[in-house]
Chain A
Amino acid sequence: MTALLELQDVEARYGPIKALHGVSLSVDEGAVVAVLGANGAGKTTTLRAISHTVRRTGEIHFAGKPLGRRNAESVARLGIAHLPEGRGTFSQLTVAENLRLGAYTRRGSLKADTERVFSYFPWLDERRRQQAGTLSGGEQQMLALARAFMQRPRLLLLDEPSLGLAPVLVTEIFRIIRELNESDGLTVLVVEQNAHLALQVATTAYVLEVGTVALSGPSEELQSHESVRRSYLGY
């Protein structure tokens, strides 16, 4: 397997505050990789650095090419879908328009993809004309996933998909992520506070502490790792 995404010594700052102090990680093509860590460890900022929605320095390679100074729009056009914290729903637009925006950079018919999205989430079809902001949190999270699917990315960046959702929904969402990974070979980099769940889905995981990688390795190894168990799994 080759690395689809490679971060070397990435630093990022919000004004005077440095959030990442040299993060290096790599994501293999077709893998699901989790980023764990406490609040403020830099998980969200790592994803923002990749999609270039935060100021950053350091080297990021995607599919062998440096991302360099490409802006967020052109990073998206390379095939990186970033579902930000708070889901990035186009709340004032309709459900159907959210899906069309997912496929914004693509040409040609969307019919097959739309049908597939509706097969995953049949309720989306009935609510096509509904304003997306009126959906519940869980529904918005599913809409966000559906939108990312319409984007047909090579790499999906997921920020806390379980945040604020009922446990049943969380399980459902991770099931869909795993299915997309297995059937479509979608590469996923997921930031998650629910380490237990993330380590079940991911093959590899990184643990961030104050803006730098403290630990990394295959999920099974981390699951049995003493400090990870105590800090993030709680047993």
Chain B
Amino acid sequence: MGARLLSFAVRPVNALLITAAVFLLIGSLQSTIFAQQTVAGLAQGAVYGSLALALVLIYRATEVINFAQGELAMATTYVAYQLIQWGVSYWLAFFLTLVLAFAIGFVTQVLVIRPVMHKSVIAVVIVTVGLFVLIDGLVVWKWGGDIKFMPAPFGQQVYHWGGVAVARQDIGTILLTIATVIVLWALFQFTKIGLGMRAAALHPTPARLVGVRVDWMLAIGWGLAAVLGAVAGLMAEANQYILQPSLMQAILLYAFAAAVLGGLESPAGAVVGGVFLGIFLNLIGQYVHFITAQLRLPFAFAVLLVVLLVKPSGLFGHRRVRKV
């Protein structure tokens, strides 16, 4: 992850990204509406990107898409809601939720994924689908299916810069996501446990032979993915202003598209894919008139389909180097 973030050789992907950034910059300078939609898209993309990153973390470690990732994120958002109901302040509840999310992800891996992990890929997939249904049911049973409200984490202010209106909430979401990704990246890149986790995910057998406790590393990976999901869930709630059991269902689909767009194996790709998708969908919605809110999701899937047809390994995907 790190090497790919840092080394910036001129590859087609980088050229494409620079072109896109320049396009967005020029567009934003030309038109205030364009700028406004770009920033809002960036915030939505940050949420997609966080959840996509969670999917990629699990995919790298377990080689399976965790279909329950979105519901897990939604459930942890309800945990935060409950804490706030009990009188905990928003930000304290936020960080407590991250800790609890880690525990939930960790325990989920140990209790339901580990027993089937070595059976078959399809067994794990079915378990994650089962988890989806189970979590959804538990949340409705505990909190009901009606709409809940949580305080706005960043307030309701809107800034005006030269005619461009930017919600404080959007800025907050973007900065928080950047901070989360940086912390996570540093954890993986610079700490011993991060190295152990990468080794366990990419090369489990040699990792065991040097004494890495592979099973624990995978459980920690699930914990971290749940933390990312919790951040995504809380920011999604803040962007939508309401909390309901279907909070993450559409977002999970966008996150799939983002992860595939970036290349399922690439953490950086997931984040970039999410951001790209968020901005792209917003701009398309603004400027292409027949694409209404109802067409947003199908359009995301059109993107996914094109990626799979044209470059199945995604923007940041690369064929694994293997020499024996």
- Chain A interface residues toward B at CB < 8 A: 51, 53, 71-74, 76-77, 81-84, 86, 88-94, 97, 100-102, 104-105, 129, 131, 133-137, 140, 147, 151
Partner of A51, one of B3, B209, B320, B324: B209
A77–B214 CA distance with the chains assembled, in angstroms: 13
- Which of A73, A147, A151 has the largest count of B CB atoms less than 10 A from its CB? A73
Is B210's CB under 8 angstroms from A53's CB?
no
- Of all chain A residues, which has the CB nearest B323? A133
Evaluate contact between A105 and B211: CB separation under 8 angstroms: yes
Is there contact, CB below 8 Å, between A86 and B324?
yes
Contact, CB under 8 Å: B205 / A102: no
A91–B323 CA distance with the chains assembled, in angstroms = 8
**B323–A104 touching, CB < 8 Å:** no
B209 touches A100 (CB 8 A): no
B192 contacts partner chain A, Cβ-Cβ < 8 Å: yes
Q: Which residue of B lies closest to A97 (CB)?
A: B195
Q: Which of B204-232 contact A (CB under 8 A)?
A: 205-214
B205 CB contact (under 8 Å) in A88, A92, A97: A88
Q: Which of the listed residues B209, B213, B214 has the most CB atoms from chain A within 10 Å of its own CB?
A: B209
- The answer to whether B3 touches A84, judged by C-beta atoms less than 8 angstroms apart, is no
The answer to whether A81 and B203 have CB atoms under 8 Å apart is: no
Q: Tell yes or no: B309 within 8 A of A by CB.
A: no
Determine the distance from Cα of A134 to Cα of B214 in the docked complex, in whole angstroms: 25
CB pair A92–B209 under 8 Å, yes or no, is no
Q: Are B208 and A72 neighbours in the complex by a CB distance under 8 Å?
A: yes
* Number of B positions contacting A (CB below 8 A): 23
**Which A residues are CB-close (under 8 A) to B320?**
91-92, 133
Q: Are A91 and B322 in contact, with the CB atoms below 8 A?
A: yes
Query: Could you say which residues of chain B place their CB within 8 Å of the CB of A84?
Result: 205-206, 209
B202 touches A (CB below 8 Å): yes
Q: Are B321 and A133 in contact (CB under 8 A)?
A: yes
Q: Could you tell me the distance between the alpha carbons of A131 and B324 in the complex, rounded to whole angstroms?
A: 14
User: When each residue 178-199 of chain B gets 1 if its CB lies under 8 Å from chain A and 0 otherwise, what string results?
Assistant: 0000000000000010011011
Chain A proximity of B25: nearest CB distance (Å): 32
**Closest residue of A by beta carbon distance from B189:** A97
Give chain B residues whose Cβ lies under 8 Å from the Cβ of A81.
209-210
* Of B206, B320, B323, most A-chain CB atoms within 10 Å: B206
Residues in B whose Cβ lies below 8 Å from that of A76: 208-211
A117, chain B: closest CB distance, angstroms: 15
Besides the contacts A81-B209, A88-B209, A136-B323, what 13 more A-B pairs have beta carbons closer than 8 Å?
A51-B209, A72-B209, A81-B210, A91-B203, A91-B321, A92-B320, A101-B199, A101-B210, A104-B192, A104-B195, A104-B196, A104-B199, A105-B210
* Majority secondary structure of chain B interface residues (helix, strand, loop or mixed): helix
Task: Provide a sorted-by-A list of 11 A–B residue pairs whose CB atoms are within 8 angstroms.
Answer: A53-B208, A72-B209, A73-B212, A76-B211, A83-B209, A90-B206, A90-B207, A91-B322, A93-B195, A97-B195, A151-B211
- B322 partner residues in chain A, CB cutoff 8 A: 91, 133
Task: Report the separation of the CA atoms of residues A129 and B189 in the bound assembly, to the nearest whole angstrom.
Answer: 13
Return the chain B residue nearest A150 by Cβ: B210
Residues of A within 8 A of B196 (CB): 101, 104
> Which residue of A has the minimal Cβ distance to B2?
A94
Question: Which residue in chain B gives the minimum CB-CB distance to A100?
Answer: B195
Q: Per a CB cutoff under 8 Å, which of B195, B202, B206, B321 touches A88?
A: B206
Contacts A90-B199, A93-B198; A104 near B324 (Cβ below 8 A): no
User: Which residues on A sit within 8 Å (CB–CB) of B214?
Assistant: 73
Shortest C-beta distance, B57 to chain A (Å), equals 15
Residues on the A chain within 8 Å of B207, using CB: 90, 101
Contact of A94 among B3, B205, B323 (CB under 8 A): B3
Contacts of B212 in A (CB 8 A): 73, 101, 104
User: Which residue on chain A has the smallest CB distance to residue B196?
Assistant: A104
Which residues of the other chain, A, contact B203 by a CB distance below 8 angstroms? 88, 90-93
Q: Which B residues lie within 8 Å of A82 (CB)?
A: 209
Q: How far is the CA of A88 from the CA of B195 in the complex (A)?
A: 16
A81 and B205 CA atoms in complex are apart in Å by 13
- Once the chains are docked, how many angstroms separate the CA of A105 from the CA of B320? 28
Contact of A134 among B199, B205, B211, B323 (CB under 8 A): B323
**Measured between C-beta atoms, what is the minimum distance from A73 to chain B in Å?**
5
Residues of A within 8 A of B208 (CB): 53, 71-73, 76
> Which of B195, B198, B210, B323 contacts A140, CB < 8 Å?
B323
Kindly name the residue among A74, A77, A91, A105 whose own CB sees the greatest number of chain B CB atoms within 10 A. A91
Bound complex: CA A74 to CA B324 (Å): 27
| Contact in complex: B210, A151 (CB < 8 Å) | yes
* Closest-CB distance, A165 to chain B (whole angstroms): 12
Of all chain A residues, the one with the shortest Cβ separation from B213 is A73
In chain B, positions 83-122 with a C-beta closer than 8 Å to chain A are none
Q: How far is the CA of A102 from the CA of B322 in the complex (A)?
A: 20
What's the least CB distance linking B157 to chain A, in Å? 45
Q: Which of chain B's residues has its CB closest to A139's CB? A: B323
A83 vs B210: C-alpha distance in the bound complex, in angstroms? 9
